[in-house]
A and B are shown apart, each in its own frame.
Chain A
Amino acid sequence: MSLLPLLIIIPLGSGFLIPLFGRKIKGIADLMAIFAAFLSFALSLLFALELKGSGVLACSIGDWIPPVGLAMVIDGLSGLMLVVMNLVAFLVAIYSVAYVKDSRSKWKFFTLLMIMVSGINGVLLAGDIFNMFVFLEVAAMAGYFLVAFGTGADELEASFKYAVMGVVASVFILIGIAFLYSYTSTLNLADMANTLAIRGPSMVLPFVATLFFMGFGLKAALVPFHAWLPYAHSSAPAPVSAMLSGVSIKVLGIYVLARIFFNVFGLSPAISLILITLGILSMVIGSVLAFGQSDIKRLFAYSSIGQIGYIALGLGIGTPLAIFGALFHLFNHSISKSLLFLNSGAIEHSTGTRDLNKMSGILSAMPVTGYTTLVGSLSICGLPPLAGFWGKIIIIFACIKAGRPAIAFIAASISILTLAYYFKALTPALFGAVKENGSKERVKEASLAMMLPMLILAFVSIAGAVLLLPAVGQFLFNSASSVLSNGAEYANVVIGALK
């Protein structure tokens, strides 16, 4: 029996056990969540290392003969994503212990968080499109509730908007799946890819592609489907924002888009065009909007839209180098953006405000939070030698190499804009004199449980570039990007592995 389902079973199981015990026994909810998240991370690391030998891990649940039945697959792409996302989830779980310490319904928080993790893992593991959809909904539902966790007016409004738009997207996705099923008579992704290759182009495909672009594009917060994101990401509790920004939009949106359009549909010029257009729109509009923000979490949220645009752009260019750059950028953005959201939580916790204009001298009052914020922002802005720089430079080079210097110019200009809006808003808050706020006590550094995840994420943001070295971690990105650049091979590889 393969161990693959454990990645879903462990977080899902803990999601059920936490309410059972967590309500009664004080403090056990946190421990269980951290333990489950750690196991999930360790397992994903194990699988990723195993991939180095075999290339793809697959199992068929209940021993049905594939393509019938439930398939679970880890290939290079999902292996990379699993490691990154579970790392973030694990660190977020640790951070949450301090963040929701005073909440009476702490166990609810951890339950939902673990259900979300199981949904994410499920999407990444699923070898058939319907299970992908189901797990996507599991993760998204947990997300809707988590955004509303604070139960203030803001949170409820944000959650409502997120839920309405998310459900609309899900409906379109479901319709798309129905059409695709009626056309191919199969749900298994690999089998579907083969059938589509045999049956050739049809009118159904552009229709389904539109539905999927809208549905998953909304989950990924690509412009013009992005409107929910600034509400949800800024109103959610900080660890949840980190999960949404660092994990959710990437797995539920980008990963699924890439999987379906590269491995099932096959990348056609039309799909490429749409991805590039959505990418550029997101980059430009997200960044221009972020320029006007002084609310720290809204700033980061709009910046997520802009950075997701880079990833979509890299995927849309479609050359192996561009895909490599996009995936590396995805990795960087996951790490640095969750770091920044955790920072924003720590800052809000200590200063009691999210308004950057009201802050000053964070760096001397809270050195760890301050410096990690600096590292995260520098990395997102793509300043050398931090990890974010390499993703940016690879994407720009890939655009030029693919004969699209105009797009490269846009990407470079938006990176300047990114730099501008981050440091325009953050510099006066981080540096400058420490404000004397008379009656209140002095702003204090975050607690250890908050600092530890921030320090780890900051370390990865700094040292991430090391992963590009062939001896260290390049195989992770290489195998992930080769899965996408050799799109059609996916079907044969998976079917071979299932047999």
Chain B
Amino acid sequence: MAQDIILYSVFVPIAAGIFCFFLPDRMKILAKTAAIFITLLSLAAAIYLFIKKPAYWPNEIRALFIVDNLSSFIGIGISVFALLVTVYSMGFQEKAFGRFFAYLLMTLGGALGAAYANHLVILIVFWGFLAVTLYLMVNMEATAAAAAAAKKALIIIAGTDALMILGVGIIWNLTETFLMDRIQLPLTSFYSFMAFITIAIASFAKAGAMPFHSWLPDVAEDGPTPVTAYLPASLDKLLGIYLLARASMSMFIMNDASNMILLVVGSATIVLAVIFALIQHDLKRLLGYHAVSQVGYMVLGIGTGTAIGMAGGLFHMINHAIYKSCLFLTSGVVEKRAGTTDLSRLGGLAKLMPITFTCFLVAALSISGIPPFNGFVSKWMVYQGIIESASAKNYLWVIWLVSAMFGSALTVASFMKLLHAVFLGRPSKDFTKVKDAGLFMAFTVVILASACIIFGVFAFVIPLPILIIPAVNRAIAYIGIWAPAVATLLITAGIIIGFLAYLFLRPQSFRTVPVFEGGEDNTEFARVSGVEFYNTIKEINPLGAIYAKEEAKSFDIYYIAKRLIYSFTRYLQKIHNGVLPSYLVWCLMGMVVMFLILFLVY
């Protein structure tokens, strides 16, 4: 029964997706209905599996799929986000996005397959399959930029999938099994270490950690917004971090070196990505860099190797999926209503779009790690994990802690800019008639924003004991004291006092006049868009060098590899001069070499 449900929840969405793919455009309503229906069913199945947790298949080919605390938690996450994005898209889709729901359903099935897989080859299959569906979904935005972003994403993600084949092959050679729950590989030999690296790389690429991140900002900027909220912001994070957690918690016995790799990658990702985020001037691209930066906390948490750090990493994963999809979906509303995501053109939308603004604000505060929202709790746990991992002879933990906190500070800074540029400030004249989100879109973002609050305020009541702690499956000792309920009350009280103070103590009322210059109304010109907030940061020295390198694409592994290969290609093209005799000479030389080898070895 239970194993049938696993199979159904993987293959029914895929089959439905294939069916929707072939539906003609005028029957789109059928695709929409099917999508809602199937995502609801998937959620029901995921919750059922979470409660029942059937361990294995009972027969010989047992254990092809595994449902334990970790994977069933991921399964629920995947289904929830699929459902939310589906509901949102009911309101968002107008253009010829006919195949959107087909791909969405296929992605849902593939993601559930990857989450429940116990056989590593099955994992690889679904992993690569998701790269293909992401590619197709990003390409639905029929522009050259979207095509470029899509191919980059495909090449990086599916490319690392090929590397994972290598790692799985090594694991198979060392342990004679493909089943994840039977693998417990110590990282003592070179090959087992390589296997770990390949799997870590695959999860980095999927989640978007550096240096495999460069596809993410591109996709965020140029891909369709619901797609960005669905895959890079939530599902890819869930799966990438799931695999990393699975690898470091059960498949491999971690040692200092392997943890060190994760710590370095994690802190570098946090700091560098947020530095890049500061100077972006496109709403979606900026969010894309934050989607990279936040992965750093998850990797860092897992890299600490402590129970609370891992719990923090996993909690941050789900929190990030919530607030980042909220951010993307609200910016989707902005994009749809205002017709642009260029920060220099946006501004002053808060009054026109109160629901969107509120939700965006909540999510922005969450991602910045402001208490009492959810982002704070998980970051707090990651910090505790770093401190707990500290040992007498090792002072490196200070670096990890400082970079995590520094990254958090810069996140606040860049969201100040974002909030100002999009929602506050003086509105541009073009946007006086902008409306707020429609029913479906508002419903989704409100749910996500409420989840940010609930997961923050009731962190120790709802998400942690039910979802996270069982998944980590180790005893957790909290070091610091954090009582969110009390804190929330205090913070709320503080806000109320501040508001009263503003009401009663505010300075002399002021008047607003248009800006004139030489008798001409010049309000539009004098608008402060917020884009320039941190432009001067480029002049600070170490940062300036980093920005210069980023502009030269030195952090983009895709670009570096491309240039490297091109140099080989050009050389080889020069040799292939089209002259027949030279080709014949190669043949002759090849023969001579072969003869020598055969003569000597035969």
Contact = CB atoms under 8 A, between A and B. Distances in A.
Interface of A: 160-161, 164-165, 168-169, 172, 201, 205-207, 209-211, 213-214, 217-218, 224-225, 227-228, 230, 268-271, 273-274, 277, 285, 288-289, 291-292, 360-361, 364, 378, 381-385, 389, 392-393, 396-397, 399-401, 405, 408-409, 412-413, 415-417, 419-420, 423-424, 427-428, 431-434
Interface of B: 121, 124-129, 131-132, 135, 139, 142-144, 146-148, 150-151, 154-155, 158-159, 161-163, 165-166, 169-170, 172-173, 191, 194, 561-562, 565-566, 568-570, 572-573, 576, 580, 583-584, 586-587, 589-591, 594-595, 597-599, 601-602
Contacts of B576: 227, 230, 289
Contacts of B572: 285, 288-289
B346 to A, nearest CB: 25
Contact of B583 (A161, A288, A405): A161
B594 A416 contact: no
Given A288-B569, A400-B169, A405-B191, A383 B590 contact: no
A79 B1 CA distance: 43
25 contacts: A168-B584, A206-B602, A210-B591, A210-B594, A214-B590, A217-B590, A224-B589, A230-B576, A292-B573, A382-B162, A384-B127, A384-B128, A385-B129, A389-B128, A396-B166, A397-B169, A400-B166, A401-B173, A408-B166, A408-B169, A413-B162, A416-B162, A419-B162, A431-B147, A434-B142
Contacts of A401: 169, 172-173
Contact of B150 (A360, A364, A392, A431): A431
A224 B147 contact: no
A488 to B, nearest CB: 17
A255 B125 CA distance: 30
A409 B150 contact: no
B370 to A, nearest CB: 40
Nearest to A231: B578
Contact of B594 (A165, A213, A289, A383): A213
B155 A206 contact: no
A434 B583 CA distance: 41
Contacts of A213: 591, 594
Contact of A412 (B135, B165, B589, B597): B165
A225 B586 contact: yes
B198 to A, nearest CB: 9
Nearest to B150: A427
Given A206-B599, A401-B173, A291 B144 contact: no
Contact of B595 (A206, A291, A397, A413): A206
Nearest to B170: A400
Given A224-B589, A285-B572, A401-B173, A428 B147 contact: yes
Given A206-B595, A364-B142, A427 B162 contact: no
A292 B568 CA distance: 10
A214 B594 contact: yes
A164 B561 CA distance: 37
Contacts of B128: 383-384, 389
A224 B595 CA distance: 14
Contacts of A397: 165, 169, 172
Contact of B591 (A214, A273, A378, A413): A214
A427 B597 contact: no
B569 A360 contact: no
Given A292-B569, A383-B128, A428 B148 contact: yes
Contacts of A383: 128-129, 131-132, 158, 161
A268 B597 CA distance: 12
B166 A431 contact: no
A257 B121 CA distance: 32
Contacts of A288: 565, 568-569, 572
B143 A432 contact: yes
B467 to A, nearest CB: 29
Interface of A (DSSP majority class): helix
A212 B299 CA distance: 54
A376 B250 CA distance: 38
A161 B582 CA distance: 12
Most central of B121, B146, B170, B597 by chain A CB within 10 Å: B597
Contact of B147 (A205, A225, A432): A432
Contacts of B169: 396-397, 399-401, 405, 408
Contact of B132 (A224, A268, A291, A378): A378
A423 B597 contact: no
A291 B595 CA distance: 31
Among A160, A291, A382, the most chain B Cβ lie within 10 Å of the Cβ of A291
A273 B159 contact: no
Contact of A416 (B127, B155, B570): B155
B594 A274 contact: yes
B166 A289 contact: no
Q: Which of A361, A381, A427 has the most CB of B within 10 A?
A: A427
Contacts of A271: 598
Contacts of A291: 565-566, 569
A419 B147 contact: no
A495 to B, nearest CB: 26
B571 to A, nearest CB: 9
Contact of B590 (A225, A384, A432): A225
A274 B598 CA distance: 8
A461 to B, nearest CB: 13
Nearest to A271: B598
Contact of B601 (A217, A273, A378, A381): A273
Contacts of B150: 427, 431
A291 B570 CA distance: 10
A423 B129 contact: no
Given A214-B594, A392-B165, A431-B139, 15 more contacts: A165-B583, A209-B602, A214-B591, A227-B576, A227-B583, A269-B601, A270-B602, A271-B598, A274-B594, A289-B569, A360-B144, A383-B131, A413-B162, A419-B154, A424-B151
A487 to B, nearest CB: 16
A393 B587 contact: no
Contact of A385 (B125, B573, B583): B125
A405 B126 contact: no
Contacts of B173: 400-401, 405
B124 to A, nearest CB: 7
Query: Interface centre among B126, B146, B147, B569, by most A CB within 10 Å?
Result: B147
B586 A412 contact: no
B166 A412 contact: yes
A185 B127 CA distance: 56
B143 A292 contact: no
Most-contacted residue by chain A among B166, B573, B584 (CB, 10 A): B166
A232 B144 CA distance: 32
Contacts of A164: 580, 584
A228 B576 CA distance: 11
B590 A274 contact: no
A161 B576 CA distance: 13
Q: Which 3 A-B pairs have the closest CB atoms?
A: A227-B583, A206-B598, A416-B159
Highest count of chain A CB atoms <10 Å: which of B139, B144, B580, B602: B602
Contacts of A433: 142-144
Nearest to B140: A431
Contact of A292 (B126, B127, B158, B570): B570
A381 B127 CA distance: 15
